[in-house]
Structure 1
Amino acid sequence: MIIGTCLILLNVNISVAQQEFDRKNIENAMVKAVEWQEQHPIFGSEPTDWTNGAYYTGVARAHKATDNMVFIAALKTMGYRNEWKTPSRYYHADDMAISYPYLYIHNNQLRKDLVNLEPTSTFINKHLFEDSDWKQGKGDKEFKTILWWWCDALFMAPPVIVEYSNLKNDRKYLDAMHKYYKQTYHLLYDKQEHLFSRDTRFLLRAKETDLKEENGKKIFWSRGNGWVLGGLALILESMPKDYKHRDFYVTLFKEMSFRVKELQGEDGLWCTSLLSPESYKHGEVSGSGFFTFALAWGINNGILEKDQFENTVLKAWKGLVTAQDSSGKVGWVQDVGYDPKPASKDSWQNFGTGAFILAGSEILKLRLP
């Protein structure tokens, strides 16, 4: 009787696992998330801001993985609404993020000359090659000492620049990107922890203004590191294999991936404060979504060993789907910020939805039994 019961439980578990990782179920979860998000825009946010840039980057990747017309329809509607414009803070990396979906639509257009890339071209060239106070270390705050002074910037701008460099077949854009990326790396990357501080306030250099956790450990924000690792996956996918600095990005991707793997919670998700899970004892979806996307991408592209990372990724996806309710809304997303804060089942943001569908876009590609 006991053996029979065990066999029944095993069959039930296999059935549940098959449902969770059935391609159609994963795609349906992504579609429901986008349909819900399209009906619930963030009140007061600019349609070209970084939150929409991150969200529609997820939508672009979802379309690339599935060819589902729901996703391309959402992308085209967004582009027409925005008139393909960018914000005008040419010095600010966040404002480049909206150009990732523009470039995706351009490269996968169904009609010639659909996308007007002039605003994107203007932004990228001004951002990289025109002088600004931040490039000279004259930012308006002490910690704004370089162009990309916050780690989030490594998701917002570099993947766009790599795509644009490929479009123009001109590696001067890659070289400029690498220059500014290395500045951020040298400023914010902790070579012992293999994680990025969000900005210089979190470096713990024995200054009164430095911030730390109550347990005395450094503050490493989950979403901040998710921005970096997810951005690295996007960079590496499009960066030419023979680019002279590619090995730097591969090495960084691997280092961070192994560290992130060590910090995964029992529920499959990552807490908002990576070295202080006791601060907020729940998983958070935006950082976890970006981590899941990146780790799954690493497996799918042969950079991470499947036998070392597959269980981590599958466990993470199980955790992510529990954050989506029957309406399609994705909860447990920390609000806009720059350091660890709590979330709840009712807290949502469009970039959290973007992280969720980014993760799904790579989970779909895993070769599962």
Structure 2
Amino acid sequence: MTRHFIRTATALTFAIALLHAPAATAAGQSPSAAPPQAAPLSAAITPQAVLAAMERVADWQLANPSRHRPDDWTQAVGYTGFMALAGVSNDTRYRDAMVRMGEKNGWKLGPNHYHADDHVVGQTYAELSIALRDPKMIAPMRAHFDDILANPRTGSLEFTVKGNQDRWSWCDALFMAPPAWLRLWSITGDKRYVDFAVREWWVTSDYLYDKDEHLYYRDSNAFAAREANGKKVFWGRGNGWVMGGLVRMLQYLPAAHPARAKFEQQYREMAARIAGLQQADGLWRSSLLDPASYPMKESSGSALYTYALAWGVNAGLLDRATYEPAVRKAWTALVGNVNPDGRLTHVQPIGLAPKVFDEQATEVYGVGAFLLAGSEVYRLARR
């Protein structure tokens, strides 16, 4: 079965590569006709259309793999999206690809022991362990996290201080690490994991969350920074990481947990603020409070917001009449950023602040965010 799957997947990858390869020209011969182009995707909010968009984007990514190391955060965010797709698709290829990835990684986290970015891959290991009832998939992560608990980092979250990235001192970290700790807790029942995740979340929040704006600074370097229009700098994707992280915490935090109400409060505050910053075309910009300085469409942060808002509607935490129109408008715009071949465009490259970038830019973490969004829009369409 495994050998058959590998042959099938290899054939699919080769076929897709051939479809998009330039036509070869032999000496003295005319160029062959260009290969037919895939039909544009439908932006309809129906289960079939949403799933078709998700699968085309996922298939493009599988056929055009990222060159980042397989346990890198960029890849690992992509894996979260593939797991979300596996949850709504009948095609087993997507989960099987994640199992192969885990086996190749030896089910280990990234090499930077304390760094949140190197913990995010553990979210996929844990979800696979839950689905397949295989404890070996979480064994290295458990040993890794046990060592962190035995040797915790303390001190300032000042981002410019060397070594302070060993704590969650930047807002992206709230997507990367704490949801992995909660997933491990849900499997093992070891209360230390949830206690650590919740405690450290609020340490970071107390430092980076602007309680007036209901938005997160990316890190301490942004405290004094101002946009061209004089407003504070709140990075689009950075706040998208937090919104996605809130969702992925709330998915596993029990209703009776003492911190549940506090998480829900922050989630609702941010959801209301983010919905009010949606632009006329349905997307959000790289700078939330100065979109005029960064007018380009941006897919990755927009997809994370779509994911978070759609999840809130589906979970009953957000009023459907208020938020569903924003979700529908956003999904339509995101599908518009997908080329016919499935390449997701308008993804801001790796960074830590608003920037201008090539509109054809793509990255695997943007694909992951798109698939996360699609999984919740798919569920919304089925209601």
| Same fold, judged at TM 0.5 (above) | yes
Rate the CA distance shift 1:140–1:335 in 2: closer, same or farther, 3 A: closer
* Residue equivalent to 2:48: 24
Map 1:251-290 onto structure 2 (within 5 A): 251-290=265-304
Whether the aligned pair in 1 keeps the contact of 2:296 and 2:359 (CA below 8 Å) is no
| Segments of 4+ moved more than 6 angstroms | none
Rate the CA distance shift 1:321–1:250 in 2: closer, same or farther, 3 A: same
* Residue equivalent to 1:13: none
Structure 1 position 99 matched with structure 2 position 122 = yes
Rate the CA distance shift 1:235–1:131 in 2: closer, same or farther, 3 A: closer
* Residue equivalent to 1:350: 364
Displacement of 1:32 after TM fit?
A: 1.2
SS class of match (2:288): coil
Whether the aligned pair in 1 keeps the contact of 2:57 and 2:342 (CA below 8 Å) is yes
Q: Which amino acid aligns with 1:311?
A: P
- Provide the TM-score with structure 1 as the length reference: 0.88
Select which of 236, 246, 254 maps to 1:240: 254
Map 1:287-326 onto structure 2 (within 5 A): 287-326=301-340
Question: For residues 30-81 of structure 1, what are the alpha-carbon distances to aligned partners after superposition, in whole Å with 9 as ceiling and x for unaligned?
Answer: 11111111122222x1110111111101111111233431321221222222
SS class of match (1:244): coil
Separation in 2 of the partners of 1:284 and 1:115? 38
Rate the CA distance shift 1:88–1:263 in 2: closer, same or farther, 3 A: same
Superposition CA RMSD, Å:
2.1
Rate the CA distance shift 1:244–1:138 in 2: closer, same or farther, 3 A: closer
Displacement of 1:149 after TM fit?
A: 0.3
Rate the CA distance shift 1:360–1:145 in 2: closer, same or farther, 3 A: closer
Whether the aligned pair in 1 keeps the contact of 2:120 and 2:176 (CA below 8 Å) is yes
* Residue equivalent to 1:11: none
Q: Which amino acid aligns with 1:40?
A: N
SS class of match (2:112): coil
Whether the aligned pair in 2 keeps the contact of 1:102 and 1:115 (CA below 8 Å) is no
Select which of 181, 202, 208 maps to 2:201: 181
Rate the CA distance shift 1:246–1:142 in 2: closer, same or farther, 3 A: same
Q: Which amino acid aligns with 2:271?
A: S
Q: Which amino acid aligns with 2:52?
A: N
Q: Which amino acid aligns with 1:35?
A: D
Q: Which amino acid aligns with 2:145?
A: I
Displacement of 1:168 after TM fit?
A: 1.0
Displacement of 1:27 after TM fit?
A: 0.8
* Residue equivalent to 1:78: 101
Separation in 2 of the partners of 1:42 and 1:368? 32
Structure 1 position 116 matched with structure 2 position 137 = yes
Structure 1 position 223 matched with structure 2 position 256 = no
Rate the CA distance shift 1:283–1:138 in 2: closer, same or farther, 3 A: closer
Displacement of 1:195 after TM fit?
A: 0.2
Question: For residues 97-149 of structure 1, what are the alpha-carbon distances to aligned partners after superposition, in whole Å with 9 as ceiling and x for unaligned?
Answer: 0011111111111xx638432221122223344133xx233988338387110
Select which of 190, 196, 199 maps to 2:210: 190
Structure 1 position 34 matched with structure 2 position 58 = yes
Separation in 1 of the partners of 2:82 and 2:330? 20
Moved more, 140-149 or 259-268: 140-149
Q: Which amino acid aligns with 2:342?
A: G
Separation in 1 of the partners of 2:318 and 2:166? 32
* Residue equivalent to 1:7: none
Structure 1 position 63 matched with structure 2 position 99 = no
Separation in 2 of the partners of 1:283 and 1:149? 28
Rate the CA distance shift 1:269–1:241 in 2: closer, same or farther, 3 A: same
SS class of match (1:253): helix
Q: How many residues align?
A: 343
Separation in 2 of the partners of 1:145 and 1:335? 21
* Residue equivalent to 2:343: 329
Separation in 1 of the partners of 2:166 and 2:273? 26
